[in-house]
Amino acid sequence: MEPGLLQSSDWPLLIDLYFFLGGIAGGAFVIATIANLLDGQRYRDVVRVGYYIAFLAIIPAPIMLIVDLGLPTRFLHMMMVAKPSAEIGMDAITVGPFHFKPFSPMNAGAWALLGFSVFAFLAALDVFLEHRSGRSMSGLRLIVGVIGGFFGFFLAAYPGVLLGATARPLFVSAHWLGALFLAVGASTGGAAIALVLSLLGGQRREALSRLMRFTAFTLLLQLVALALFIVAVRMAGSARIGQALTQLLFGPYSLTFWLGAVVVGIVAPLVLQCAGGIKKAGAGVAALVSVLILIGGFLVKHVIIAAGQAT
Amino acid sequence: MARTLAMFTDVSLCIGCRACQVACKQWNQLAPEEPEWTGTYQNHAHFTDKSYRLVRFFEETDAKGQMKQWHMMSDVCKHCAQAGCLEACPTGAIYRTEYGTVNINQDICNGCRYCVSACPFGVVAFNHDTGTATKCTFCNDRIHNGLGPACAKACPTESIRFGFRDELAVKAKKRVDELKKLGYKDAQLYGEDKDGALGGLNAFFLLLGKPSIYGLPDKPKLPQRNVIADSLLAIGSALMVGLGALVAFRDRGGKGDA
């Protein structure tokens, strides 16, 4: 018999939404940065929309985290307390009132959220000023993009690592959740940019085509990471862990998982892109594909978290 | 650090009276709770924000499903040498005391609840009234005033013993030998070994069978051990995404209408 004594954090849907928006923000920022590095002028719309989405998606993030806390007024304790204790964990660093715990993904994530928010604001401000006055601080944008990009990757991936560092049976042997969440962040970030561009209209066929190519690649990466996650959990060899996986794949969460996360979120967008031809994809197809990726991206995170917390 | 304090629970002496549970509630002024039907004499099913001490009841069955033996174990926070809750805590509210115990500073905890799911033993509970996480402190106020924890004081059979860890470990090993001579061949210590799982538990147990009979994990693992491997896989995923973006947006000659 395996322990039936574990308890759950019971994080609500709000946290799933935060993880989803954090992924979009991080993914969109990285795409905008790479597009800017390759040809900022040519991909001007991708860069602009990408940085705007990153900034807008990250604005509600801290609010969601704060609202979910038992004591919202203590949110800053994630990073600083007046009198930190001496022994608060492995390799913990305390400087004055500030503390950084590398083995606490939630603490590291709070710092990443702060760092990313600063760079997302600066990048959005730069593209806004460029749009309004035609002047851009290209050197600054480069630095902001590269450093913010690292934060963006971190923001997209850390929720998966955070879940993996719990004792919950579905998560504890998974190992691939960080990789999966990062791939989902990239695909949903790309989809969000493509959706906005397709709704804006105009001549943006090349940008959409390249975004569709990118999202197709990240969907395949997402599929591989998801498969490896299932294999890793299955190979854990524990009855309790096996039961948790069964609940996800064949139990009450299976419909959301297979239909929502896999079919709607991965298979349908890939089929649509292949059938329509990525290069020839029009704004309508791109918008439909993007919506499906966004729905699936939310559901895959939601269903894994829900199943992991309940089993 | 001062000499490590510990609790040794000998399940062979437990009679399931729950005096420990009551003493814990009284000393820590924990509010009463509605009884919960768990199918056994156990109440509640889990540790709660109002039950830091929990006497667990287990029915061991044989291969045919017939009742073989009834086990009782007074369970408590293990104050692990490598504590999942302490490592998970993003605020530093969970800290290690000079006696090696693990406490939650109620003035710092912000109620994120990460520690609740990070504990391999399901000890930490969330208190909806205070908005913070709570658990056993080994009666921190009592031990800092030279008194043992209330549960150990109340135990009528001395199934729960409190003292310096090294001294208790010697007594525990001696007790295992005694029980084996009496015919309890599967008697074993759980969590006493400092080189074992989680660096040893500061609340360790003498069990009469394998840990799984008592609902305990055979080899509890520090969840944060996953952080490095999971992060490396995430970095691999990030490299693939970056490569994918470079390929997707690389210049292939002609200017488009991006």
Which phi-psi region, left, alpha or beta, contains residue A202 (left: φ > 0; alpha: ψ -120 to 50)?
left
Window 255-274 of A: residues touching B by CB (8 A cutoff) are none
Specify the residue for token string 């174990």.
Answer: B73
CA–CA distance, A99 with B168 (Å, rounded to integer):
36
* Structure confidence by residue, pLDDT tens digits, B89-118: 999 999 999 999 999 999 999 999 999 999
Kindly list the residues from chain A whose CB atom is less than 8 angstroms away from the CB atom of residue B87.
Answer: 89-90, 101, 103-104, 165
Is B54 within 8 Å of chain A by CB?
A: no
Distance from CA of A250 to the nearest CA of B (A): 24
Distance from CA of A59 to the nearest CA of B (A): 20
User: Is B109 an 8 Å CB contact of chain A?
Assistant: yes
Residue to mutate among B1, B76, B207, B226, with most A CBs inside 10 A, is: B226
- The pair of three-digit structure tokens given for residue A170, joined into one six-digit string: 């579905």
Closest-CA distance, B256 to chain A, in angstroms, reads 6
CB–CB contact B226 A175 (8 Å) = yes
- What is the residue whose two structure tokens read 């990048």? A123
Looking at the complex, report in whole angstroms how far the Cα of residue A49 sits from the nearest Cα belonging to chain B. 12
Residue B214: CB atoms within 10 A of its CB come to 22
User: How far away is chain A from the Cα of B43, in angstroms, using its nearest Cα?
Assistant: 13
Chain A residue with CA closest to B106: the answer is: A71
Two tokens at A95?
């400087």
- Cβ-count burial A200-217 (b if 16+ within 10 Å, e if not): eeeebbbbbbbbbbbbbb
Per-residue confidence band for A149, with pLDDT thresholds at 50, 70 and 90 = very high
Q: Say which amino acid occupies A310.
A: A
Hey, what are A22's tokens?
């954090």
In percent, how much of chain A has pLDDT > 70?
96
Å between B7 CA and nearest CA of chain A: 20
Model confidence pLDDT, tens digit, residues A41-92 = 888 999 999 999 999 999 999 999 999 999 999 999 999 998 888 888 889 9
Backbone dihedral region of A96: left (phi > 0), alpha (psi from -120 to 50 degrees) or beta? left
Q: How many CA atoms lie within 13 A of A309 on its CB side?
A: 17
Q: How confident is the model at residue A277 (pLDDT cuts 50, 70, 90)?
A: low
Provide the CB-side half-sphere exposure for A33 (13 A, CA): 31
What is the value of ipTM here, to two decimals? Answer: 0.94
CA distance B177 to B163: 20
DSSP, collapsed to helix, strand or coil, labels residue A87 as: coil
CB contact (8 A) between residue B128 and residue A70: yes
Chain B neighbors of A229, CB-CB under 8 A: none
Q: Which 174-213 residues of chain B touch chain A by CB within 8 A?
A: 212-213
Does A42 reach chain B within 8 Å, measured CB to CB? yes
- Nearest by CB to residue B258, choosing from A46, A164, A218, is A46
Q: What pLDDT shows up at residue B1?
A: 64
> Residue A206 is nearest to which of B111, B215, B258, comparing CB atoms?
B258
In chain A, whose CA is at the least distance from the CA of B213? A1
Architecture of domain A13-310: Up-down Bundle (1.20)
Partner-chain contact B216 A30, CB within 8 Å: no
What is the pLDDT tens value at each position of chain B, 258 positions in all? 678 999 999 999 999 999 999 999 999 999 999 888 878 888 888 899 999 999 999 888 888 888 888 889 999 999 999 999 999 999 999 999 999 999 999 999 999 999 999 999 999 999 999 999 999 999 999 999 989 999 999 999 999 999 999 999 999 999 999 999 999 999 999 999 998 889 999 999 999 999 988 989 988 999 999 999 999 999 999 999 999 999 999 866 544 444
pLDDT tens per residue, range B207-250: 999 998 898 998 899 999 999 999 999 999 999 999 999 999 98
What is the per-residue DSSP string for B152-218? HHH-TT--EEEEEHHHHHHHHHHHHHHHHHTT-TT-EEES--TTSGGG-BSEEEEESS-GGGGT--S
Contact at CB, B224 and A94, closer than 8 angstroms? no
* Domain boundaries, given as residue ranges, for chain A: 13-310
Q: Is A91 helix (H, G, I), strand (E, B) or coil?
A: coil
Q: For residue B237, which residues of chain A lie inside 8 Å, CB to CB?
A: 157, 178-180, 182-183, 221, 225
A34 and B229: CB-CB below 8 Å? Answer: no
Residues sharing a CB contact under 8 Å with residue A79, sequence separation 6 or more, in sequence order = A98, A99, A100, A107, A110, A111, A114
Of A7, A8, A214, A220, which to mutate for an interface test with B (greatest number of B Cβ within 10 Å)?
A: A7
- Cβ-proximal residues to B85 (8 Å cutoff; 6+ apart), any chain: B94, B102, B104, B115, B118, B119, B123, B124, B133, B135
**What domains are there in chain B, each with its CATH number?**
5-221 (3.30.70.20)
Q: How far apart are CA A177 and CA A161, in angstroms?
A: 6
